[in-house]
Amino acid sequence: MQLLSVEFAVFFLVVLALAWAVRTRPAAFRSVLLAASYVFYAGFHAGFAALLAGVSLLTWWAGLALAGPWQGRARTGILTGYLALVLGELCVFKYWNLASELTGLLPELSLALPVGISFFTFQGVGYVMDVYRRPEEAQRSALDVFLFMAFFPTLLSGPILRARDFIPQLRSGAPAWTDASQAFWLIVLGLFKKVALSSYLSEHATRQLFSGPEHFSSPGALLGVLAYSAQIYCDFSGYSDLAQGLAGLLGLRAPDNFNQPYKARNLREFWQGWHISLSTWLRDYLYIPLGGSRCAPARRNLNLLVTMGLGGLWHGAGLNFLAWGLLHGGGLVVTHAFSGRLPTPGTPAGRRLADAACWAGTFAFVTLAWVFFAAPDFDTAARVLGRMAALDGSGQGPTATLAVVTLGVIAYQALRLDWLRTCPRPLAMLPAPAQAAALGFLGALIVRMGPDGMLPFIYFSF
C-alpha cells in the first residue's frame, strides 16, 4: 500500500474513525492502531510483517529480562545477545550479498529488503539500551512495545521514536496533539514538498544526471548536484511532515526530524537540523558509548569517524555510502578542531561576512558529499564530480525553471525563513468544515500537479 495513493487515504480515514471512537479507552485505542499498523505493513509483504513481529517479540522479552533479577555479566550477556540477533538480521538483509561479493565465501541470497527495517531495528536497539541503563523504563505490556515498533505513520522512514516519549502517549485517555489544523497543514506541506518539488527535481535533473553524467555540461552537472541537495531535503522532510501530520490527527506527537539544515554555518549545526532522530540516535547509542568527546582529541576524532562511517553504511552497503559517512566524520573532526579558535570579527558587517562565508563553505561541503549519497556507486560519483570540474560547456545545460526551484528551496533556509511550517492564521480561523474543504482541495491540487508513476520516497530504500 503506497503512502501517496487513494487506497492509503481510504485506509487512513477508516483507521482515524475507529481510533477516535475508542480514544478514551487506551487499551482499545492501542489495539486498533496495532492492528492497523500490521495491516498496513503486511500490504507490502506478509513476510515483512512476520519479521517485524519477531523483532518486536525479542525486543519486548529483552526489556523484561534486563529489568529482572539478573545482574553484572548476565545483564551484559542479555544485551549482547539481543544486539547480535537484531543487528545480525539487519546485516543479513542489507550486507550479506556485499560480503559474498567481497569474500567469495558466502552464497548469494535473493532477499527482498523489508521496507523500514533500519528504522524499526534502531528503535528496538535504542529501547533495549535505555532499559539496560535504566531498568525502570522497561515496558511490561507487549501491546505497548509492539505498537511502538510498528506505528505505521513512522514505520517506513521515521522519525525514529523513543519509547520513553511515545508509549506514555498511548496510555493516556487524552490526546497529546489536539491541533487538527496544524496536523492537516503538515500533511499538505509534506505533499507539496514531495509531489511538487522533489518529484519535479528528480524528473528534470537528478535522475538523468546520476544515470548519465557524460551527457551534462559542467554548469548543468553543477545545477543537478544542487538540485539533489534540494530534492533530498524536500523528499525526506516531506515524509517527516506527513508522518507528523498523520500521527497528529490520531492525537499522537511524533518528534521533529528537520530544522532547516541548510541554514547551518558548520557541520555540527547541520546535524542538529538534518534527520534529527538519527543523528541523536547515533550520538546516544554509538558515539557516547565509544567515549564521545570526553577523551583525548585523537580518540574523539576516531569516535567521530567510526560513528559517521557506520552511519553512512547504515544507509547502504556500498563504498559510496561509506565515503559519504567518512566525509562527514572528517568534516566534524575539522569542525571540532577549529571550534572557538577562529577570531571573531569586531564589527557587525564583519560578523555577517564571516557568517556568510561559514554558511557557504558548509553548504558546499554538504552538497559535494551528497554526490556520493545520490550516486548508485562510487564510480558514478567520481564521474559526476569529474563533469563538474571539467569546465566543459558541451552537453545538457541548466534551465531557468530548474534553477528557480532549486535555488528557491536553498535560499528559503539560508535566509532563515520559517513561515511555511505553521498553518496560516486565516486558514486556521475558518470553521472546521471549511478548513477540511480548503486543505483537501489543496492536497488534491498538489497531487494533480505530480507526475504519473511517482517514485517512492528516497528513504524507503534504507
Cβ-Cβ contacts under 8 Å for 383 (sequence gap 6 or more): 213, 214
- List, in sequence order, every residue forming a beta bridge with 396; answer none if it has no partner: 216
Out of 204, 215, 315, 328, the active site residue is 315
Q: What backbone phi and psi angles, to 5 degrees, belong to 396? A: -65, 125
Q: pLDDT (tens digit, 9 = 90+) per residue, 81-129?
A: 999 999 999 999 988 877 877 777 778 778 888 999 999 999 999 999 9
Confidence of residue 240 (pLDDT cuts 50, 70, 90): very high
pLDDT of 292 above 80? yes
Q: Which one has a higher pLDDT value, 343 or 92?
A: 92
d(CA 333, CA 339): 10
Average of per-residue pLDDT across 10-23: 94
- In this predicted structure, what is the pLDDT of residue 285? 96
Average of per-residue pLDDT across 69-75: 90
User: Does residue 328 carry a catalytic annotation?
Assistant: no
- In this predicted structure, what is the pLDDT of residue 323? 96
Average of per-residue pLDDT across 441-462: 77
Q: pLDDT (tens digit, 9 = 90+) per residue, 254-289?
A: 999 999 999 999 999 999 999 999 999 999 999 999
- In this predicted structure, what is the pLDDT of residue 453? 64
- In this predicted structure, what is the pLDDT of residue 452? 66
Q: Which one has a higher pLDDT value, 48 or 98?
A: 48
Q: Which residue has the cell 530544522?
A: 259
